[in-house]
Structure 1
Amino acid sequence: MVSSIKRFLIGRPLKSTELGEQKLNKTKALAVLSSDALSSVAYGPEQILIVLYTIGLAAFWYSLPIALGVLILLTALILSYRQIIFAYPHGGGAYVVSKSNLGVNPGLIAGGSLLVDYILTVAVSVSAGTDALTSAFPNLHQYNVEIAIAFVIFITLLNLRGVTESASILAYPVYLFVLSMFILIGAGIYNILTGAVPAELHTPIGTPVAGVSLFILLRAFASGSSALTGVEAISNAIPNFKDPAPNNAAKTLMMMGALLAVLFSGIVFIAYYYGVGPSKEVTVISQIAEEVFGRNFMYFFIQGTTALILILAANTGYSAFPLLAVNLAKDKFIPRMFLMRGDRLGYSNGIMILGLSSIILILAFHAETESLIPLYAVGVFLPFTLSQSGMMVKWLREKPQGWIPKFIINTTGAAISFMVTLVFFITKFSQVWSILIFLPIIVFLFHKIKKHYDAVGDQLSLTTCEPSMTIEGNVMILPVAGMTHVVENSINYAKSLSPEQIIAVYVSFEREDERRFEEKWKKWQPEVRLVTLHSHYRNIINPLTKFVDTIEKKAREGNYQVTVIIPQFIPKKGWHNILHNQSSLLIRAFLLYRRNVVVSTVPYHLKK
């Protein structure tokens, strides 16, 4: 039944030879990997206005030069990540760049930041999408958390079905959103040009505003730069592209940058001209759509596509997180389970861990986008800074032909990214301080995991200097609870291995039971030695493990191997297990960590 449900939810298993069919073309890749960056148009401009609103409505004209600064940073990042795509065509993005050029720890900081960032991508995107949905239907506000969790589960299942299948579904809402934004911006500009928008709705550019300071403008710029989250996803996910993967990834990146620049600047300009300000209950996009179209079909079309892309933008995290995890797992910094492909050829362990982590985050922050965005943005701009710095070091070290313009691009990107990171730490420290705690912990765990894998590899290697044990013979210890077919089956198995000695061990709670059992055993299995252990405290494990330790110590002196054979009957139906004591499982669990003791289970399958 479980298998049938799994097949229904994620589809039939795919052969390994079908992996090539799971690669993305540019059209689908743009939808899947750019959805996060494009969706930030829905909340990036709003973040600028939220900061400027603290001064007053008259300060809204500053959103235009701030937006220009964001576009300059976007240009530097797009050009830089295009260089990263060709320099590191196997993916990995900021992690691989930082590790290769700055060292292991900077690489792990970038990798750890991005892992957390992709979890935040899912949480922020779904929370923002839920906000857009409840802006159109205010009665649903009280169910924000439940709606957000339901969307995360849906997207997780969608990604477990495979890259191409999720891309085929996601392409439609992403392109519908782009279309709706072009319609909104076009209609808004048309209204402005035809004089349908009163001039008194906005303050003229250059109007003096009391209380404006460089600090506030930098804070607004940093908040608006949250619209650039997700631009690195394509460089992380190059292996998902069809061949030639680097070329297709670079073209997709440039297209994403162009779309993001047009949509972001258009929304900022329309919001300024219409005098739209931030509101707790209604998003800026919702207000603009209502001002331009009223509450008609176009309004709900824009709100619907905005909600969809904000929710489905989480898919960028699902595309990039597993591939980044694969790079970290290959370097032995996180568990190897992240290297395993699932039934549908996707890295299903990474997908499920991402979904579960995002749900925990949504519950912790009650699906409040405003609370998540600062932490989200810092998690993005820290890797931005490290990757740009890493590329600077690469160009300085290698000095290839035409390296100076590339160096300038990366220097510009690194400087602005570092400034944005500092501004976030200074202005929103109360919301981002946790990164100073969990990031060192994550890096520490990376090193501990790496140390463990290195130690395991050293001990398992045939070249190790540790001599292997020479075995002269075998001593079998057989715990018995009675004289049954289960025990008889195990004795026959032990005899078939031709051991030097078989010792049956019976643990009794009463002296009379012990005497009767010994008499019956002599008649039933006279050739098998029986040892009875009396337990004063009605415990089987302690007397048995002490006996095994004693035999093992003596056997080691003669280079004998001790094997404990555990008889176990298997019920016909799984639920029957709850009706029986699982003594065999307990014995195995306790003996499994004994050195120089082999534990073997002999199953006896019941027929009814």
Structure 2
Amino acid sequence: MGVSAAPSLGRGRARSAHAHSIERERIVIPRQERGERPRSDVDIELREVKKGLRAGDRYLRVVPREQRFTRRAPGYFEATRLGSRPRGRLERLLAAVKGWFLGAPFASSQLVHERLSKVKALAIFSSDALSSSAYATEEILIILLLAGSGALHDALPIAALIALLLLIVTASYLQTIKAYPSGGGAYIVAHDNLGRPAGLVAGAALLVDYILTVSVSVAAGVAAVTSAVPDLHDVRVPIGVMMIALITVGNLRGIREAGTLFAIPTYFFILSMTTVIVVGLAKVLLGDAPGSLLHGAPPERTVVATQGLGLFLLMRAFSSGSAALTGIEAISNGVPVFKKPEVRNARITMATMAGALAFLFLGITFLSSRFGLVPGGDETIVSKLGKVTLGSGIFYYGYQVATALVLVLAANTSFNGFPPLAAILSRDRFLPRQFSFRGDRLAYSHGILILATAAAVLLAIFEGDVNRLIPLYALGVFVSFTLSQSGMVRHWLRLKEAGWRTGLAISGLGAVATAIVAVVIGLTKFTTGAWISILMMLALIAVFAMIRRHYDWFARQIQVDESELPLPVPSAVPLVSTGGRDAPSYIPPRDHVIVPVDGINKIALGAIAMARELSRKVSAVHLTDDREAAETFREQWSLAVPDIPVHIVESPYRAFVAPMLEYLELLERTEPQRITIVLPSFVPRHWWERLLHNRDVLRLRPFLKQRPQIRVVDFPYRLQD
């Protein structure tokens, strides 16, 4: 609050010894009664005439309103946080609730501060891959058990093959990170090198895999809880949905804060699992385990074979255990969120993640065979391993808590992969534009909410059963692996950059290996659930095509022929003679017409034409959160519509209604003319088209109706079929 003092309005000669006790006179002058409108963009909240400490002294106290706009340049305004606050009662209530759960909004300029260090990035991006070590071994054993408990000794060779595959895929993705530092992963690589269809298949496969990752990870985490507390088995679905909700809130708070929240559980899991493996290895070496270093232990219970141990069964076990590789591509999708140097930090983080995953996965599989563990019942293999190494005391429960936490938080990898990928697909016009908008905390809120909803629905449909969800899993990720590595093969052959032969060999080997695994998964899991994943991918590809077809059609409908630009400037405004020898003067316009514009298209230019019919004083206003893009737009506008000035309103908090209302109110206070606003919009042909467009302009209407001094004119643009 600022205070300015005017010169004394009068001074009495008599002074009283009790002047300090004299009651002050307070005269408040309402703004609407202050005479002419102020000519400043600083509004006056309060003026009052007050008596001074001495008899007869008076002074004028002026309190300016808190600033809602800053003027960056002529015709360029930036809304402050106060100027971006919601205006409606319901909107303010929702904002208060969001603020309580998520925290205060971030300005777009704070995005650079949301980048991750290697320590936090490892926790965020590797939780999915590392957590898969907690159930990948069990999935191998479950399949081998069909051939009887004697077949369980084949788990270790299968795990070794999967670890070799992990090494190949990691080496290939290290090349991808270097070649595509802007992120996007398999979708960008396949789209750029193999064409749009391959890119869409990769994108659909990844999105499906991210959804399944959340469902499987949360279900596995709940299974770890119910292994320790069996009484909770019947409420595993509500527990899982609640866990998804908590992860969703954590990610809506922003990626850096999510990294802080999730780092401790991830490293706690690594420490706990490493402790179990080290203690287990010590027992094996000291002879305290049923098995030895070179020979496995007899199974803890005998299971009769229901089918023979053939190649097909071994392939099924291999495909189930390949779930250990899910999530390792996440770092290549999120390179831009690393602190500088992004590529180097991302490659170090990925190599660290792969090494940790190989150690945990092979360690659990090795110890399972040396202690003769057999899957079955309501207790997981990692729970049994914890008991035989740590006992059933407090250390075991701490280990189970760590396992449950990391399994649940493994879903966080998807929450950092799905939204950015959906945003890229949105910018390429394959998903609704809203997916590319950042929320209050700079997270892609729409993608986060859609992912959480889809995962919760799947979790409920499959009743939180990990074994029923696993067959749907992994196919999508290996399809994306194959397309990504095939795209890199094409990349090396096309550009032949330095070291291209080495890169070609690594990518080629990765493409062949992952293609084989994808085929194996498709063949062995098709009837048990992989067909659902394939159906989901095909449905997504169809949605991509439909949305892109609509956006292409819409762009053609509103595109302006460059031959029609620049728009012709209307003839000079009529003059009126004041009579006699006085020079003629312009007729003062009665209205100042404002037209919100989002681009140079037929809708915007049609609204400008209507505005010209209403008044000779017309201005366009363009609201944005991207300063560079706004400057580019201003230059393009000045060339296309040279006689209509465009004002830029930068909204760093990505709000639309509140800054636009503040801008109109600013004009209302400072302009002598009446303010008229033309609201351009298009008339959709089908109801679903409304979902594909951000129609913020229409959200202004209810608020403008509350201001009768501002005239509102609609400009509906009907698109042609």
Matched with 2:559 is: 461
Residues 327 and 592 of structure 1: is their aligned pair in 2 closer, same or farther, counting only changes over 3 Å?
closer
Report the Cα distance in structure 2 between the residues aligned to 1:604 and 1:141, rounded to whole angstroms: 55
Please tell me whether the aligned partners of residues 202 and 479 of structure 2 are also in contact (alpha carbons under 8 angstroms). Answer: yes
Please tell me whether the aligned partners of residues 338 and 349 of structure 1 are also in contact (alpha carbons under 8 angstroms). Answer: yes
1:432 aligned onto 2:530 = yes
Matched with 1:392 is: 489
Equivalent residue in structure 2 for 1:420, among 490, 512, 517: 517
1:83 aligned onto 2:175 = yes
1:134 aligned onto 2:226 = yes
Identical residues among aligned pairs (%): 43
TM-score (norm 1): 0.76
Report the Cα distance in structure 2 between the residues aligned to 1:605 and 1:336, rounded to whole angstroms: 31
1:342 aligned onto 2:439 = yes
Q: How many pairs align? A: 493
State the Cα deviation string for residues 101-147 of structure 1 (Å, max 9, x = none): 11100110000111111111111111110010111000000001000
Report the Cα distance in structure 2 between the residues aligned to 1:243 and 1:467, rounded to whole angstroms: 43
Matched with 1:171 is: 263
Equivalent residue in structure 1 for 2:297, among 202, 209, 228: 202
Report the Cα distance in structure 2 between the residues aligned to 1:194 and 1:292, rounded to whole angstroms: 13
Matched with 1:446 is: 544
Report the Cα distance in structure 1 between the residues aligned to 2:118 and 2:707, rounded to whole angstroms: 55
Please tell me whether the aligned partners of residues 112 and 442 of structure 1 are also in contact (alpha carbons under 8 angstroms). Answer: yes
Which shows bigger deviation, 141-150 or 411-420?
Answer: 411-420
Q: How does 1:104-119 map to 2 (within 5 A)?
A: 104-119=196-211
Equivalent residue in structure 2 for 1:325, among 406, 411, 422: 422
Give 1:447's aligned amino acid: A
1:58 aligned onto 2:150 = yes
Please tell me whether the aligned partners of residues 337 and 349 of structure 1 are also in contact (alpha carbons under 8 angstroms). Answer: yes
1:314 aligned onto 2:406 = no
Give 1:45's aligned amino acid: T
Report the Cα distance in structure 2 between the residues aligned to 1:165 and 1:219, rounded to whole angstroms: 40
Equivalent residue in structure 1 for 2:333, among 232, 236, 252: 236
Equivalent residue in structure 1 for 2:134, among 23, 33, 42: 42
Matched with 2:216 is: 124
Please tell me whether the aligned partners of residues 216 and 469 of structure 2 are also in contact (alpha carbons under 8 angstroms). Answer: yes
Q: How does 1:540-551 map to 2 (within 5 A)?
A: none
Query: Unaligned regions of 5+ residues in structure 2, if any?
Result: 1-92, 300-304, 571-589, 593-612, 615-678, 686-697, 709-721
Per-residue deviation at 1:468?
A: 13
Per-residue deviation at 1:90?
A: 0.2
Give 1:99's aligned amino acid: H
Matched with 1:5 is: 97
Equivalent residue in structure 2 for 1:353, among 429, 441, 450: 450
Q: Does the residue aligned with 1:277 lie in a helix, a strand or coil?
A: coil
State the Cα deviation string for residues 341-382 of structure 1 (Å, max 9, x = none): 111111111111111111111111111111222212101111
1:161 aligned onto 2:253 = yes
Please tell me whether the aligned partners of residues 458 and 464 of structure 1 are also in contact (alpha carbons under 8 angstroms). Answer: no
Per-residue deviation at 1:389?
A: 1.1
Q: Does the residue aligned with 2:416 lie in a helix, a strand or coil?
A: helix
Matched with 2:380 is: 283
Please tell me whether the aligned partners of residues 153 and 296 of structure 2 are also in contact (alpha carbons under 8 angstroms). Answer: no
Per-residue deviation at 1:248?
A: 0.6
Please tell me whether the aligned partners of residues 139 and 320 of structure 2 are also in contact (alpha carbons under 8 angstroms). Answer: yes
> Which protein is richer in helix relative to its size?
1
Please tell me whether the aligned partners of residues 58 and 202 of structure 1 are also in contact (alpha carbons under 8 angstroms). Answer: no
Per-residue deviation at 1:250?
A: 0.6
Report the Cα distance in structure 2 between the residues aligned to 1:235 and 1:377, rounded to whole angstroms: 18
Give 1:412's aligned amino acid: L
Per-residue deviation at 1:427?
A: 1.5
Matched with 2:505 is: 408
Per-residue deviation at 1:75?
A: 0.4
The runs of 4+ residues in structure 1 deviating greater than 4 Å are 464-470, 591-594, 599-602
Residues 467 and 364 of structure 1: is their aligned pair in 2 closer, same or farther, counting only changes over 3 Å?
farther
Q: Does the residue aligned with 1:54 lie in a helix, a strand or coil?
A: helix
Please tell me whether the aligned partners of residues 61 and 203 of structure 1 are also in contact (alpha carbons under 8 angstroms). Answer: no
Matched with 2:365 is: 268
Give 1:155's aligned amino acid: I
Report the Cα distance in structure 1 between the residues aligned to 2:447 and 2:340, rounded to whole angstroms: 24
State the Cα deviation string for residues 178-223 of structure 1 (Å, max 9, x = none): 000110000001011111112397259xxxx993222211211111
Q: Does the residue aligned with 1:428 lie in a helix, a strand or coil?
A: helix
Matched with 1:15 is: 107
Per-residue deviation at 1:466?
A: 9.3
Report the Cα distance in structure 2 between the residues aligned to 1:466 and 1:382, rounded to whole angstroms: 47
Q: Does the residue aligned with 1:64 lie in a helix, a strand or coil?
A: helix
Report the Cα distance in structure 2 between the residues aligned to 1:280 and 1:424, rounded to whole angstroms: 25
Matched with 1:217 is: 314
Equivalent residue in structure 1 for 2:399, among 302, 305, 317: 302
Query: Unaligned regions of 5+ residues in structure 1, if any?
Result: 473-495, 499-559, 562-587
Report the Cα distance in structure 1 between the residues aligned to 2:362 and 2:406, rounded to whole angstroms: 18
TM-score (norm 2): 0.64
Report the Cα distance in structure 1 between the residues aligned to 2:423 and 2:683, rounded to whole angstroms: 31
Give 2:297's aligned amino acid: H
Residues 6 and 406 of structure 1: is their aligned pair in 2 closer, same or farther, counting only changes over 3 Å?
same
